[in-house]
Amino acid sequence: MSEYVLAIDQGTTSTRAIVFNRDYRNCGSGQQEFPQHFPRSGWVEHDAEDLWRTAVETSRLAMSSAGVSACEIAAIGITNQRETVVMWDRRTGRPIHKAIVWQDRRTAEHCARIRADGTEQDIGRKTGLLLDPYFSATKIAWLLDNVAGAREAARAGHLAFGTVDSWLVYKLTGGRRHVIDVTNASRTMLCNIETAEWDDSLLALFNVPKAILPEIVGNTGDFGETGEALFGGRIPIRGIAGDQQAAMIGQACFEPGMVKSTYGTGCFALLNTGAERVTSQHRLLTTIAYKIDGQMHYALEGSIFIAGAAVQWLRDGLGIIDRADRSGPLAAAADAGQIVYLVPAFTGLGAPWWDPDARGALYGLTRNTGPAELAKAALESVCFQTRDLLRAMRKDWPRADETFLRVDGGMAASDWMMQRLADIVGVPVDRPVVHETTALGAAWLAGHGAQVWPDMQGFSQSWKRDHRFVARMDEGERQQLVLGWRAAVRSTLDFSGKQP
């Protein structure tokens, strides 16, 4: 009997694959980074072939390190960086351009033009999203308008659009399936989140032809099987979800009110609002959390574009650390008397501000400011932004649970950062034993689809805490620090668009 489930987690900076056994234990994994392309300021691209190659190679690595063959794997679950747009030619299976990544800001002007037409409210009502280059719709339009011959090829039915899940399923099944799951579809700005269907008026507004779109599917189901040659046997694909929703599932945040926050390249906090589609009054997003066994759950989401990316900046941009995990110890050595703020608006500001033109800023520098103070400011900026998101969530939906926050993602490994997070948000921060919650969520979906783990309750009970970080900072100090943060954000927003 097939005892294992393979999760493929295709993220912004790396692709990971993990083989889980029936007890949700990681039995073997593989991880590979791939190149980031920055052809112009504010543009971010990936080579879709890299995403595909690393998905296959890391899966093979995971299987060999687990000592597991294809026939022992009950199902594959896929999870992916969301919003990123891949477009390929159905005749060759080759991308027609590099993938445009969720962080890419090239379509800011297109968004501004649509905003000026006064359709933003209607878009928000249908999609739960705010008009921003972050989402897929304007990226798709950009490819159709800027790649020679793309519109004609689309009209002739030769082109396919997909988010990264669609691309991987297409390639894994040898071009037999062209699908997108509801969570990824809900981030395209072309999907009506009430019906979970493509919306004709949005397709017209963004000038996207229906012929290029994938079929929208739930998070579990039969999504085809891999070609025989890839892994030495056919493996069914039974689960798909965008990575933030997969993390929410992996954190077993199934009850309305539960919140998880994931600290990878960006930070994404999701509040499960159950069957209720809550409309935010504080510029949060309403999004599909999951559709499992036909039941749709929604979430309020706060998206911060720069979290771990600020640590990458310390490492690769400033060169003041040589490894990401040195950032916490360096921050711990900072001079407590210096209060330095970094507003890391390197690619604009996300929730709740949504300013694509904002650029990063440092405040409070003195002659004594050095690497330690900058590291502290970078890590703290993520904590302050999380606080802004959680407060907005509570105002939007008072049923949001304030008794704990479940965290995961690469940065959650930093004890210093997690303690600071608890201090600044004033809520206990729970880090689970399984750090790879995104992959676990995708695995659970696939295992659920394949009847390996039919029971949601049982999965919830398997969630275990590694550590709870409890606030040590007194309220007075917290308020002082937060006031300074607000002033720093205000100044950054004020400066936005004013640089020569």
Ligand X SMILES: O=P(O)(O)OC[C@H](O)CO
Rule CB under 6 A: which residues touch ligand X? 11-12, 81-83, 102, 242-244, 264-266
**118 annotated to a ligand binding site:** no
Q: Is 82 part of any known ligand binding site? A: yes
Please spell the DSSP secondary structure of 165-230, one letter per residue.
HHHHHHHHTTT---EEEHHHHTTTTSEETTTTEE-HHHHHHTT--GGGPPEEE-SBS---B--HHH
The answer to whether the annotation marks 414 as part of a ligand binding site is no
The residue ranges of DSSP E strands in 305-364, in sequence order, are: 341-343, 361-363
Note whether 284 and 389 are within 8 A (CB).
Answer: yes
Find which of ligand X, ligand ADP, none residue 449 binds, CB within 5 to 8 Å per kind: none
H-run or E-run covering 407: strand 405-408
The DSSP output letter for 326 is: G
Instruction: Note whether 75 and 19 are within 8 A (CB).
Output: no
CA distance 119 to 87: 26
232: annotated binding-site residue? no
Q: How far is the CB of 184 from ligand X (least distance, A)?
A: 9
- The number of residues that bind ligand ADP (CB under 6 A) is 20
Show the tokens assigned to 315: 């490492």
Q: Select from ligand ADP, ligand X, none the partner in contact with residue 83, using the beta carbon and a kind-dependent cut-off of 5 to 8 Å.
A: ligand X
Q: Is 64 annotated as a binding residue?
A: no
Q: Which residues of 442-475 are buried (b: 16+ CB within 10 A; e: fewer)?
A: bbbbbbbbbebbeeeeebeebbeeeeebebeeee
Min dist CB 70 to ligand X, Å, is 27
The nearer residue to ligand X, 11 or 214, going by C-beta atoms, is: 11
Smallest distance from ligand ADP to CB 13, Å: 4
Whole-number Å distance between alpha carbons of 280 and 301: 9
Q: Identify the residue among 224, 250, 348, 410 touching ligand ADP (CB under 6 A).
A: 410
- Choose which of 19, 140, 299, 309 interacts with ligand ADP (CB under 6 A): 309
Those residues whose C-beta lies under 8 Å from the C-beta of residue 120, and which sit 6 or more positions away, are 114, 130, 131
- Closest approach of Cβ 316 to ligand ADP, in Å? 9
CB of 413 to ligand ADP, least distance (A): 4
Closest distance of CB 67 from ligand X, Å: 28
Q: Which of 309/422 has CB closer to ligand X?
A: 309
β-pair partners for 240: 78
Question: What, of ligand ADP, ligand X, none, does residue 77 touch, CB below 5 to 8 Å by kind?
Answer: none
CB of 242 to ligand X, least distance (A): 6
Q: Binding string, 6-45, against ligand ADP, x = CB under 6 A?
A: -----xxxx-------------------------------
Output 42 or 409, the one with its CB closest to ligand ADP. Answer: 409
Establish whether 83 is an annotated binding residue: yes
Residues across the chain: 500
Query: 141: which 2 tokens?
Result: 């339009």
Q: Is 243 or 430 the residue whose CB approaches ligand X more closely?
A: 243
Does 338 count as an annotated binding residue?
A: no
Q: For residue 424, which of 467, 377, 371, 464 has the smallest C-alpha distance?
A: 377
Q: Is 264 in the site for ligand ADP (CB under 6 A)?
A: yes
Minimum Å gap between C-beta 224 and ligand ADP is: 25
Sheet holding 237-242, edge to edge: 26-33, 14-20, 4-10, 73-80, 237-242
458 close to 447: Cβ distance less than 8 angstroms: no
138 is in an annotated binding site: no
Structure tokens at 268: 């994404």
Is 499 marked as a binding-site residue?
A: no
Count the alpha carbons within 13 Å of 202 in the hemisphere toward its beta carbon.
Answer: 26
**Residue 311 interacts with which of ligand X, ligand ADP, none, CB < 5 to 8 Å by class:** ligand ADP
Span from 48-56, 209-217, 403-411, 455-463 in contact with ligand ADP (CB under 6 A)? 403-411
Q: Report what 244 binds from ligand ADP, ligand X, none; CB cut-off 5-8 Å by kind.
A: ligand X
Q: If contact means CB under 5 to 8 A according to the sort of partner, which of ligand ADP, ligand X, none does residue 410 touch?
A: ligand ADP
Q: Known binder of ligand: residue 244?
A: yes
- Tokens representing 255 are 């009850």
Residue 87's closest CA among 156, 139, 11? 139
Q: Residue 325 has what DSSP assignment?
A: G
Residue number of the CB closest to ligand X reads 264
To the question of whether residue 195 is assigned a binding role by annotation, the answer is: no
- Tell me whether residue 14 is annotated as binding: yes
Pairing of strands 215-217, 259-263: unpaired
- Per CB under 6 A, residues contacting ligand ADP are 11-14, 264-265, 308-309, 311-312, 324-325, 327-328, 409-411, 413-414, 417
Q: Residues at the annotated binding site?
A: 12-14, 16, 82-83, 134, 243-244, 265, 308, 312, 410
Binding-site residue set for glycerol: 82-83, 134, 243-244
